Amino acid sequence: VQLQASGGGLVQAGGSLRLTCAASGRTFSGYTLAWIRQAPGKEREFVAGIRWSGGIIAYADSVKGRFTISRDHAKNTVYLQMNSLKPEDTAIYYCTAKTTSGDWKIPTLPASYNYWGQGTQVTVSS
């Protein structure tokens, strides 16, 4: 699975951005998709995940109520709508994927995901 993330940028605190993740080469059927971020000097952090079939969703506590992950079957695309952005949301955001087989919930360990896109930078100014 080849993943292409886009939509990052510079925004003021309180603003919004929408990240997009598109797949090339195949559909997302049978996969779990997740957004994972990494801030400078910090470890990678799970942000949100969605099971392509069935739509099970999970969020990190730090983004609940502010971020929304969704999918568009027709476009084979996953989105991350980010509202009420804070400076601490500044990071490179990666679109990632793994096969769903064997998972009864959305994995939150970044190492669980074996397909990674190139990342898109999100910078939130105070």
Per-residue pLDDT band at 61 (split at 50, 70, 90): very high
Query: Greater confidence, 63 or 76?
Result: 63
In Å, how far are 30, 32, 35, 125 from 108, measured between CA atoms?
18, 11, 10, 27
% residues pLDDT > 90 (the chain): 83
Span 83-98, average pLDDT: 97
Report the pLDDT value the prediction gives residue 26, as an integer from 0 to 100.
76
Whether the Cβ atoms of residue 67 and residue 82 lie closer than 8 Å to each other: yes
Report the pLDDT value the prediction gives residue 28, as an integer from 0 to 100.
86
